[in-house]
Structure 1
C-alpha cells in the first residue's frame, strides 16, 4: 500500500493506462514531470516493467529525471525496496522492474535495448522528429501493453511536437485544435491522452512563484505565454507580421488586372539540405501589396531534372532573377532555354532586402503555396546572447524568403522616407 497526496488535476492521469500515447504539455511549475515519474513508479511496483527514460542530451538526465525518481522514492519511504544506481543510471524494483536512462545524443546505445514497454520522453520538443520515430520502433513486447509518455513546455508552432500532435499546415493534416485542449484540459483522441496543466494546478507551489510568473507579462510576453499560460505560439519577433494567406482563386482574381511589368519570379538554389525555391509573384504597386501565387520547392534534384520540371512551371520567356552566387547554375539554365539573370548581391544586401520586403503593407500568399506559408508565417528574427534581434538572421533558413529577395531585385518599395512621396511643403 502506497499513500501519496497528489494534485487533483493529475489524479486520473496517474492511474490511466488505457492508451498508447500520453502527451503532457503545460507551463512552468505545473508538476507534470513529477506526476509522470510517480505514475511510472506505481506501474513498476504493480507489475514487472522495463522503462526507458529519454532526453535529447544524456548529461541533462542526472539532475532532472533521475533526481526526480530519487526524490519520489525517498518521499514514499521506499528506499529499502527500490534501489537507485548512479553508474550506469538505473532504478531497480524488487519484482524485477527496471528504469533505464538514455540520451538521444548517443543513439548507438539505443540499439542494445530490448524488452522496453514504457518510454518517457522528457522535454520531447528538444528531440528531433527522427529520434522520436526511432524510439517508436524500440518498444515491443509479446504480451505487455506499450506506452509512450511525452512531456514538454510549449514551444513554437513550427516544432515537430505541434505539427505531430495538433496540426501540420504543410501536409494539410489536422488532429486537434490546441485551443480546445487549453479549454478542456484533458482530451482523448486517436489513442492519445492529451493533458494540459498550469502552475495553478500545483497546490504545493508557493504563491510567490506564481507571482513571479505573472510578472513575466510585463517584460517578456513570449516567456509569459509559455511559462504562465502553457500555450504554443510563435517564439520571438515576427519578420513579416503583414504576411497572410488567401484562397488561391481569390489571389488569381486579384492579380488579374496587374500590369505584366509587375510580375516577378525569383529563385534560390539548393540541393541536399537546402532547397530549390522558385516563387512567382505579382506586385500591386498602387497599394504596395505583394502577392505570391505559385511556388516550386524541392531538394535533392540535379539541375537537369529541375530544369525538366520547371518547363511545366514557368514559361521560358519569363525572366527569373536568381542567386548570383551561382553563375554556373544560371548559365546552365540559360543554355536550357530559360531567361535567368543573377540578382544583385553585396555587403549588407540581406538586411536591405529584408527591409524592402517589410515595406509592403500586405504580403498575400496563395493557400496552395504550402512551403512558403510554412517558412514565412512564423519566420522570426534570430537573437544574440543578450537577446537582441539580428536583423538579417532568422530562426530558420527560409529559402522562399530569399527567392522573394531575388525576384524583387530592381524594384523599390517606396516608404515615407522616399523624397518622391512628398512635396516637401510644410516641412520645418
Structure 2
C-alpha cells in the first residue's frame, strides 16, 4: 500500500502525540485530503470509532464522505473497506468505523458512544457551543482521545481564533498566529498547529495559483483567506467586487458571453418590505454576474403584483422566488407565471452570501437604482462587541435576497473545491518547486 503525500504534511500524518490538531490554510493546500488520509491510516492500525462533523449534515456527501471514499479506492482497499452511502458510514475489517453527523441534527449525537477520534471539517462554521458539546462526546475507556479541526481562516472574531489563538478583549493569548505563519507547524500545550497554502500542494497546476493571485485585485479579504491562509479583520463591505456600469455597456457585454446562464429571482414584501424581482445573467467562464433589470415595489396585493409582472407570462421566463410565501407563489403560478420556490435549508443565508462573494465581478446596470442602493455599500451587521455577523446585514436587502433565490441550484466555481488538493499517483506536472 503506497500513497504519495505532500512533504509539508508528512510529519502531521503520523503525529498522534497531542489531543488537538488544528489545521488552518488557504484554498487548495490539501489539508482536508491529508486529514482524511491520516484518519484512514489510524483506523487501519487500531480499532476505533471516528466521528466526522460538519455544521450541515447534507454537505458531507460531496465533501468528507466523497474524499474518504476516494482515498480508500486510491489505496486499493475498496474490497476490504466498505463505504456505505445510506446511512453514510465507512467500515473497516478490524471493526473500526467512520460515522458522519451534522450539528444541524443535534439529536443524532446523543446515541453516539465510544468515539475516540473526531474530525471537525470547516470547524469555523460550527458554533462554539457545538464544539464544547463535542468535547463531551469524545470519550473512550482505554484509547487516547483526539480531535482534528480543519478550516479556512475567517475573521478574528470567530471562536476558532479566539479559542486556539488569542482573545484580545479578554487578554487571553495561546499562540500568536503570526508565529504560526512563520514557523508553519507548532506545538503549544496539547495542540498541534499546522498552517498551509496552495504552495504546499505540489500536485496543483500553476494555473490554479494564478487564479488565487487574481483575487488580490477584486477581493482583498478573500485573497487573504484563500491565497495566504491567514486570519484577519474582515472588511465590513459584503460585496467589494460590486460595480456600476452604464446600461448600454452592460447589454453589449452580455451579448459577448459565450456560455450565459439567464436567471430571474424574486423576494416578497408588502408594507415595510419590498417585492423585488431581478433579471441577471452569469458568465460561467469569467465568473461574472450581470444584473440588468429590476422590479421594486411595496404595498400592493397579489393581483396588482401579477399585473405588474405580466410580461413574464408572455416570455415564459422561470422565476425562482422566496419559498416562505407559498400562497403568493401558488396564485402567481395559477395566473400563468412560470414560478417556483427556492430551496432553503439551515445555514442557507450564509451559504448564499458566500456564493455571491465568489463572483469575480458583480456588474450592475446603472438603471437598477434600487439594486445599487442596497448592494453597493451593503455592510455586515455587527454584534455588541463590534464583531461582524456573516449572515446578517445593516439593512434588509431585498434585491440581494432576490438574487440568492434566482441563483438557486447554481454554484459559482469555488477554487477551494475546484482543486480539492487531492494528490494522485501521477507525478506533479508544471508546478514550481
TM range (shorter): 0.5 to 0.7
Equivalent residue number for residue 411 of structure 1:
none
1:372-424 alpha-carbon deviations (Å, 9 max, x no partner)? xxxxxxxxxx99968775758533234779xxxxxxxxxxxxxxxxxxxxxxx
CA distance in structure 2 between the aligned counterparts of 1:209 and 1:78, rounded to whole angstroms: 30
Equivalent residue number for residue 395 of structure 1:
381
Task: Give the C-alpha shift of residue 220 in structure 1.
Answer: 1.1
Equivalent residue number for residue 59 of structure 1:
58
> Secondary structure at the residue paired with 1:228?
helix
Equivalent residue number for residue 80 of structure 1:
79
CA distance in structure 1 between the aligned counterparts of 2:91 and 2:56, rounded to whole angstroms: 23
Contact 1:198-1:228 at 8 Å conserved across structures: yes
Equivalent residue number for residue 96 of structure 1:
95
CA distance in structure 1 between the aligned counterparts of 2:375 and 2:184, rounded to whole angstroms: 35
1:202-260 alpha-carbon deviations (Å, 9 max, x no partner)? 01111110111011111111111000000001222379xxxxxxxxxxxxxxxxxxxxx
Equivalent residue number for residue 6 of structure 2:
7
Of the two structures, which has the highest relative contact order with CA contacts closer than 8 Å and spacing of 6 or more?
2
1:22-64 alpha-carbon deviations (Å, 9 max, x no partner)? 0000000000000000000000000001000000000101100
Unaligned runs of 5+ in 2: 239-352, 363-373, 388-433
| Bigger-Rg structure (1/2) | 1
> Secondary structure at the residue paired with 1:35?
helix
Unaligned runs of 5+ in 1: 240-381, 402-428
Contact 2:152-2:229 at 8 Å conserved across structures: yes
Contact 1:117-1:141 at 8 Å conserved across structures: yes
Equivalent residue number for residue 241 of structure 2:
none
1:9-408 equivalences under 5 Å are 9-237=8-236, 394-398=380-384
CA distance in structure 2 between the aligned counterparts of 1:202 and 1:188, rounded to whole angstroms: 22
Number of residue pairs the alignment of both structures matches: 258
CA spacing shift, 1:191–1:34, aligned 2, 3 Å:
same
CA spacing shift, 1:399–1:30, aligned 2, 3 Å:
closer
> Secondary structure at the residue paired with 2:53?
strand
CA spacing shift, 1:131–1:173, aligned 2, 3 Å:
same
Equivalent residue number for residue 287 of structure 2:
none
CA spacing shift, 1:393–1:224, aligned 2, 3 Å:
closer
Contact 1:124-1:152 at 8 Å conserved across structures: yes
TM-score by length of 2: 0.57
1:329-351 alpha-carbon deviations (Å, 9 max, x no partner)? xxxxxxxxxxxxxxxxxxxxxxx
Contact 1:52-1:100 at 8 Å conserved across structures: yes
